Chain A
């Protein structure tokens, strides 16, 4: 009985080291698995056969059906931006800068990031849930036994659609967002239509819009690949699919924010 106490302390320390080591091991392992998954997916993106009908279907799912959500986000963001910058800028008599602030913030940052996050919630979740359910019900194995590569059939169309459609969505969000700022400025803050549009047009450069679109493309890739990855490696049962959906949305959102910082640094410094 007496020699039990030191033994216990020792085993406690060992347990702690073991669990720390275990979690580091697991993290590294999942980074490795993810890298292989991304590499494999990209390889299949650039090699035939493709499934044009499935790609078209994903274009509609990811692009067209996300329009309302992204549009709503953009218009209210633009409106709030105009209101907020008005209250701030009147203190310095700098109301004339509102148009520029709205245009630059929306095109460079807010449209791509917010659209990316909204699409992560909408599309990332549904991809993970759909592919996860297919995994759980052995439909992915069934694809393989029917001589159809699941990467090509399930993953490639989604990645292509996400990477191509998000810039389109963001371009539309740019226009709607700036329009939101315009509405508030004209109807609520008493700006003149002509000068607001002229100021917007003057300050906006091609680079501002293009950088936003490049970001959007990256975010579209992140959202779809994370949805596919977590769905593809989903655990068993309803709980597994639920967890896969959560991981897909959370990891995509965080990766969007991190890569946004990196891309901004690359573009504007």
Chain B
């Protein structure tokens, strides 16, 4: 595929073109097209089961798309393997929905994990960085010696955020960062995300169905429905998008084009 001329000027950080993926015959992604510019924060919104997570995992390389192209820094990532893939992974940080902390390791070991195991950093140095990153997300050094199971959900999310930013990634992925948190803690996490991304000058790609979170952390918003991007625009345009699907979603109405086919009301 030839890159169009206007993209030669500034290579997008992430570019997905016509990405398709089906699981056991069920189409999940039906031709996703997305670009994220360097330093930009894109939030993908959409209902459950519309393909948000799969989109994210295709960029990360955790899921291989059936067809289409995914480029990071202009480099095709769908066909990478071995050391090239490791190199690409080093650019990424990821905050998982359920935090996905390693429960057999202490908090600081979790944060330092990528530094010690992935980058072979000296343990003392990694420990120091881990404590620094924990402080950045508002946790003091004593928390570092606890196990993840001893923490509340909000604290686990913070630790996971610290782990995601520990290796100073160029691109950070957030998978429903505020799900399962109370509104105040959700806002704290949102603030931390904004600060951390700004601090690192990183590019951010998030998925969420929490509109408060999306408004806070997004520069651009893309709405996904039935495996396709049906709306893309600046976060400021969200309220007058002129798109019925977007309107139904952001106002959380049971009636509308999204639920027309499913007609949940008749269930």
A: residues with CB less than 8 A from B are: 51, 137-139, 141-142, 144-148, 153
The contact of A153 among B89, B93, B117, B167, by CB within 8 Å, is: B117
A144/B114 in contact, CB under 8 A: no
The contact of B97 among A138, A139, A147, by CB within 8 Å, is: A138
List the count of A-B residue pairs having beta carbons below 8 Å apart. 52
How big is the B interface, by class?
A: 20 to 34
B256 at interface by CB-CB < 8 Å: no
| Complex alpha-carbon distance, A137 and B100, angstroms | 6
Closest to B114 in A: A146
CB distance from B173 to the nearest CB of A (A): 8
B90/A142 in contact, CB under 8 A: no
CB distance from B57 to the nearest CB of A (A): 8
The contact of B114 among A51, A148, A153, by CB within 8 Å, is: A148
B47 at interface by CB-CB < 8 Å: no
Among B90, B100, B114: residue with most chain A CB under 10 A: B100
A145/B97 in contact, CB under 8 A: no
| Complex alpha-carbon distance, A141 and B99, angstroms | 11
| Complex alpha-carbon distance, A147 and B100, angstroms | 15
A144/B113 in contact, CB under 8 A: no
The contact of B100 among A51, A142, A153, by CB within 8 Å, is: A142
Q: A144-B62, A146-B113, A147-B90 are in contact. Are A139 and B118 (CB under 8 A)?
A: no
| Complex alpha-carbon distance, A139 and B99, angstroms | 9
Q: A141-B62, A153-B117 are in contact. Are A147 and B89 (CB under 8 A)?
A: yes
The contact of A145 among B89, B103, B119, by CB within 8 Å, is: B89
| Complex alpha-carbon distance, A144 and B89, angstroms | 8
Q: A148-B114, A148-B117 are in contact. Are A141 and B90 (CB under 8 A)?
A: no
Among A138, A144, A147, A148: residue with most chain B CB under 10 A: A147
Residue interface bits B114-155, CB-to-A below 8 A is 1, else 0: 100111000000000000000000000000000000000000
* Residues of A contacting B117 in the complex (Cβ-Cβ under 8 angstroms): 51, 146-148, 153
| Complex alpha-carbon distance, A142 and B60, angstroms | 11
